[in-house]
A and B are shown apart, each in its own frame.
Chain A
C-alpha cells in the first residue's frame, strides 16, 4: 500500500470516447505527476503539478488534459485517443522540496480500440 490510489485500474475505450483517470494521494504531499509507460519503453513524464500549479508539460498531445483541483487529487482527461495511446498510466506524488522521492500508484491500464 503506497498511499496513492488510482481509478479505474483498467479502462478500455474507443477512439471517440471521453474518459477520465483519477489519482488520489493520502500522504500530505504537494506535488503530483502523470507518467506514461508503453510496452517495452521507459516511463515518460507527462505532467507535473507543484502546489496545484502545472510546472511541467512534457510535449504531451492536447488530447490529454490534466486537472489538479487540490493537492490531494489529480485527473487526466482523455478524448479522441489513438490506439498508440494504449499504455499504463501512472500517477505519483512527492513533496515539492524533494521531488526525487516519489510515491507511485498502481497505475491504470488503458486500451484504446
Chain B
C-alpha cells in the first residue's frame, strides 16, 4: 500500500499562500492523491483529489509532480479559518475500502 509522509506542523501568515507538501514515493499507477482537513473537534472535510494533472477548485490547488512521488496542496490566501490538520491520502478509487487510511497529517496554524 502506498503511504504518505507529511510534516507534523507548519505555520502560515494570514493572507499568504500556504504550501503543504506530501511525499508518496510508493504510489501505484491507479492510485489517486486525496486531501482532507479537520478543524478541531469537527469531522474531516474533503478538499480535492487528483491523479496526474494539477487540479484546482474553490478551496485549493493540488500540484502533483511529474513522477507522482510527491504533491503540494496550495491554499492561495490563508485565513484564520484554515487552521486545521491537513491529511494527504493515496488510494485507488474503487475496491480498496480498507486501504483508505488517514495518517497523522500536518497541523497548520494560520496566524494574524
A: residues with CB less than 8 A from B are 2, 4, 42-43, 45, 48, 50, 55-56, 58, 88, 90, 92, 96-107
Q: Is there contact, CB below 8 Å, between B43 and A106?
A: yes
CB–CB B98/A56 < 8 A: yes
Interface SS, B side: loop
Are B49 and A90 within 8 A (Cβ)?
no
Question: In the assembly, what is the distance between CA of A102 and CA of B91, in Å?
Answer: 13
B44 close to A (CB within 8 Å): yes
Residues of B within 8 A of A88 (CB): 41
Chain B residue total in the interface (Cβ 8 A): 22
B residues contacting A by CB (< 8 A) are 32, 34, 41-46, 49, 89, 91, 93-94, 96-98, 100-105
What CA separation (Å) do A98 and B34 show in the bound complex? 11
Closest beta carbon of chain B to A101's beta carbon, Å: 5
A59 to nearest B CB, angstroms?
10
Q: Are B42 and A106 in touch, CB under 8 angstroms?
A: yes
Name B43's contact: one of A55, A92, A98, A100 (CB within 8 Å): A92
A-B contact pairs, 12 of them (CB 8 A): A42-B105, A45-B98, A90-B43, A90-B44, A97-B93, A99-B96, A100-B49, A100-B89, A101-B49, A102-B100, A103-B46, A104-B45
